[in-house]
Structure 1
Amino acid sequence: MAAVIKGKKLPTGIRKKNTNSFEIRVKHDGKTYYEYAPTLTEAKKKRVDLKYRLAHGTYIKPTSYTFDEWFNFWIENYKMNSVKIGTIQTYRNYYNSCVKERFGNVKLDKIKGADIQAFYNDLVKSNHKLATIKVIKAFMSNAFKQAVKDGIIVRNPFDATNLPRNTKPEKERKALTREQQSLFMEYAKDSYLYNLFAVMLRTGMRSGEIRGLRWSDIDRKENVIHITRTLKYINGQGFMDDTAKTKTSVRDVPLMADTMNYLENQKNYWSFKVEKIDRYLFCTVDGNPISVQMLQTEIDNVVGKIHEAGQDFPRITSHVFRHTFATRAIEAGMKPQVLKTILGHSSLAMTMDLYSHVLPDTKAEEMQKIASIF
């Protein structure tokens, strides 16, 4: 006798298990396959999908996957051609450093919301930033969501969790003072990356953007730098061009005269002519790309020279040049909306949140503009 719910017969191959679950049964090649769904509507869809996957050889036994196996399957089949190469590398890096040891050998259907919540708490205890936890949550939850769609598990365990609140104040974005900026550039004069430092300070370009710059991106006619890509290093593959960080990261940055001078100097810095060969504008003496590590080493070398001269100077990263550019721009009165476009931020709120520390210095001056009204 067929199962009945609310006076209606359930479709063939579906029966109600309990209040929140329907069992799906499909026979194929002499075997019976089972899956589950929380509603009758989803159960009907899953049964059609299950029959299709069995007929086409794409069925995955729900209990056969550990999270490690599923994560790699998800990356290769669902993400490889839909997100940036750099994003996939980020997922893999976070997975290998934070997730694999904890969940890699655990079966998908054995990972519960309580396990994820405990994982969150341990990440907080080990001083991981909230931003890092958010990235981990994003790709893990996405992987589980796909597993639900594929009928491998019934529910996404992340639906039963809450992200920890940010218990630590965000560190203020560091920017060089005018004096520090001049001091650094003075001691960087003998560096093979002197021109790169100078251009970063005048454009606010990201590290990957300037390291991935080619001479063909310099538009003398329109007097702009076309930023369309970022340089990435992928383990096992080497350096490659990746798409820009976001849609708004694809942009044109206006060229100032002195910025063009530094770019011209770089074009002729090495013996080969960079505009006639497919090399990056900023490269090594052999024409090879500059890695993040090489850039940081050169910054540290310059700071080391400043220390050797008996002067105090903070340890900085390449991103400080971007913050310094933005700080100088706000100090000079550049409109936030214009700065947002030049930096390639996706929203004005992002620009203002990052550089609000500059505004207190200009509040009094701005208030004076309306003093005469009263």
Structure 2
Amino acid sequence: MAVDKNGKKLPPGIRQRANGRYEGRIKYQYKSYSVYADTITDTKKKMNDLKYKLQHGLYVESSKTTLDEWFETWLNVYKKNKLKKGTISTYKKQYSYMVKGKIGKKYITDIRGEHIQTLYNDLVEEDYAVSSIKIIAAILSGCFKQAFKNGLIERNPVKLAEVPSEKDKNARKAMTKEEQHVFMEYAKDSYLFNFYSVLLRTGLRNGEIRGLKFSDIDKKKRVIHIRRTLKYEEGEGYYEDTPKTKSSRRDIPLTQDVEKLLDAQKHYWGEKIVNISRYVFCTSDGKPLSRDRVQYEIDRIIKQINQSGKEFERITPHVFRHTFATRAIESGMKPQTLKAIMGHSSLAMTMDLYSHVMPDTKATEMELIAVAF
């Protein structure tokens, strides 16, 4: 008979692990199953629950259960009769938009705190409001809490991640006109010069511009079709996903300067005949651009700027999107037009994220209103 760390005898099938928690083991149809708990009483209860589920065909094997699968089980078994139909629908929609394509295919036993934190960080980077991320955090917390209660996982990874605070949203950065000029001046020799130039002139998301193909450039209608976003899944590689929301699937006007940049990119790697299904921006061997490669090149350019004696803070590809929006507002673009170009799902999101303008523009606007007094 097993004993605990104090030498006390434990009930049959229960042992104490090195971390202090208890493990209960049972056999059913020649196969062993385990549950975990902080106390002997809870371990016994989980063992009884497990026996019931095994005998009635309700058991879900955690080692073979993905987050997508467990999310559906959690909703249908534990929440269906407790939540309103509209709430269930909202949960499914939010999960589909913000979680499914990122960590949904991972087994719940493999998901750690850093995976949840990376998810939150990516959502901030992709323009999701902090309030929306908090909803996802609540959904995941309930989902994993139930998995923990059922003995499917040993600890709830959601507790190990921090939801971004509201002040993070207000800290969004856009380059000033001077910073924009300096960066592009030093980026002239970069193989991603056209990439950064198009970002500044279109406000595309990082995944959208990396997923852009020559077939998306419609010179006849003078638009760029945004139909996909390029993503990467560990173990799966690169794959194309639909834009994050219905509003993200959009057409952006093709201006002459953007057309010149895209034409220049067409034969950048020396190809005489370019496959229109190829990504516009890719590596020299035609492979997709990774997020890390784009960020590395930004960091390299900024390092050169700093080495020249100029101060320049680190930025991410998303700063180019913020910068486009800020230049658009400074130039007098109407909010509804900006909303359509940016691919936001609501006007409130556009104004919330991009109504901030540069200090010199604020001063100019204040001078205009001064004549009213």
Is 1:74 equivalent to 2:89 in the alignment? no
Counterpart of 2:138? 137
CA deviation after TM superposition for structure 1 residue 136, in Å? 3.0
Instruction: Give the residue type in structure 1 aligned to 2:70.
Output: W
Give 1:328's aligned residue: 327
User: For the Cα contact (< 8 Å) 2:230–2:239, is it kept in 1?
Assistant: yes
Shift of 1:356: 2.5
Computing the radius of gyration from Cα coordinates, the structure with the larger value is: 1
User: SS at the partner of 1:357?
Assistant: coil
Counterparts of 1:356 and 1:317 in 2: how far apart (Å)? 20
What displacement does 1:97 show? 3.2
Shift of 1:319: 0.3
SS, match of residue 260 in structure 2: helix
| In 2, Cα distance between equivalents of 1:144 and 1:241 | 32
Alpha-carbon separation, structure 2, partners of 1:269 and 1:317: 24
SS in structure 2 of the partner of residue 296 of structure 1: helix
For 2:353, the equivalent position in structure 1 comes to 354
User: Residue 68 of structure 1 contacts residue 100 of structure 1 at CA under 8 Å; is this kept in 2?
Assistant: no
Q: Could you tell me whether the CA contact under 8 Å between 2:214 and 2:277 is conserved in 1?
A: no
Residue number in structure 1 paired with 2:15: none
Counterpart of 1:98 (choices 113, 131, 134) is: 113
Residue 263 of structure 1 is matched in structure 2 by: 262
Gaps (5+ residues) in structure 2? 1-52, 76-91, 117-129, 152-161
Tell me the residue number matched to 1:190.
Answer: 189
Q: How does the TM-score come out when normalised to structure 1?
A: 0.63
RMSD (Å), alpha carbons: 4.1
Instruction: State the shift of 1:84 in Å.
Output: 6.2
Report if aligned partners of 2:174, 2:319 keep a CA contact under 8 Å in 1. Answer: yes
Does structure 2 conserve the Cα–Cα contact (< 8 Å) formed by 1:267 and 1:274? Answer: no
1:97 maps to a residue whose letter is: R
Tell me how far 1:240 sits from its aligned partner: 1.0
1:122 maps to what in 2? none
Q: Deviations over 1:17-69 (max 9, x none)?
A: xxxxxxxxxxxxxxxxxxxxxxxxxxxxxxxxxxxx99xx99313xx666995
Give the match for residue 208 of structure 2: 209
Contact 1:130 1:166 in 2 (8 A): no
Specify the code of the residue in structure 1 equivalent to 2:111: N
Aligned pairs for 1:114-125 (under 5 A) are none
Identity %: 46
State the alpha-carbon separation in 2 of the partners of residues 76 and 288 from structure 1. Answer: 35
Q: What are the within-5 Å matches in structure 2 for residues 125-204 of structure 1?
A: 134-141=135-142, 166=165, 170-204=169-203
- How far off is 1:74 after superposition? 2.1
Deviation at 1:355, TM superposition (A): 1.5
CA contact (8 A) 2:212 2:280 kept: yes
> Which residue of structure 1 aligns with residue 16 of structure 2?
none
- Give how far 1:88 is off: 3.3
Partners of 2:292 and 2:139 in 1: how far apart?
27
1:88 aligns with 2:104: no
Q: Secondary structure at the match of 1:340?
A: helix
| 1:293-372 matches, cutoff 5 A | 293-358=292-357, 361-362=361-362, 365=365, 368=368
3-state SS of 2:201 partner = helix
Tell me the residue number matched to 1:28: none
SS at match of 1:199: helix
Greater displacement, 334-343 / 82-91: 82-91
Partner of 1:59: 57
Quick check: 1:267–1:273 contact (8 Å CA) kept in 2? no
What is the identity, as a one-letter code, of the residue corresponding to 2:174?
A: A
Distance 2:363 2:281 in 1: 39
Counterpart code for 2:196: F
Cα distance per residue 1:140-191 (max 9 Å; x no partner): 435779999xx99xxxxxxxxxx99957564421000101101111110111
Residues of 1 paired with 2:135 and 2:284: CA distance?
40
For 1:256-309, what per-residue CA distance to the aligned partner results, in whole angstroms no more than 9, with x for missing partners? 111110000000101225742532110000000000000000111111111121
The one-character-per-residue Cα deviations of 1:177-227 (angstroms, maximum 9, x if unpaired) are 101101111110111110000000000000000000000000101111100
| Partner-residue secondary structure (3-state), 1:96 | coil
Gaps of 5+ in 1: 1-52, 102-128, 153-162
Q: 1:205 to 1:368 in 2, by over 3 A?
A: same
Whichever residue aligns with residue 138 of structure 2, its letter is: K
Give the aligned residue type for 2:100. T
- Give the letter aligned to residue 89 of structure 1: K
1:213-261 C-alpha deviation (Å, 9 max, x unpaired): 0000001011111001000011111111111111100001111111110
Contact 1:175–1:327, Cα closer than 8 Å, also in 2: yes
Q: Which residue of 2 aligns with 1:39?
A: none
Distance, in Å, in 2 between the alignment partners of 1:260 and 1:167 is: 38
Q: Tell whether the 8 Å contact from 1:267 to 1:275 is kept in structure 2 after alignment.
A: yes
Alpha-carbon separation, structure 1, partners of 2:132 and 2:97: 19
Amino acid at match of 1:141: G
Q: Label 1:130 to 1:244 Cα distance change in 2 as closer, same or farther (>3 A).
A: closer
Structure 1 residue 73: deviation in Å?
3.7
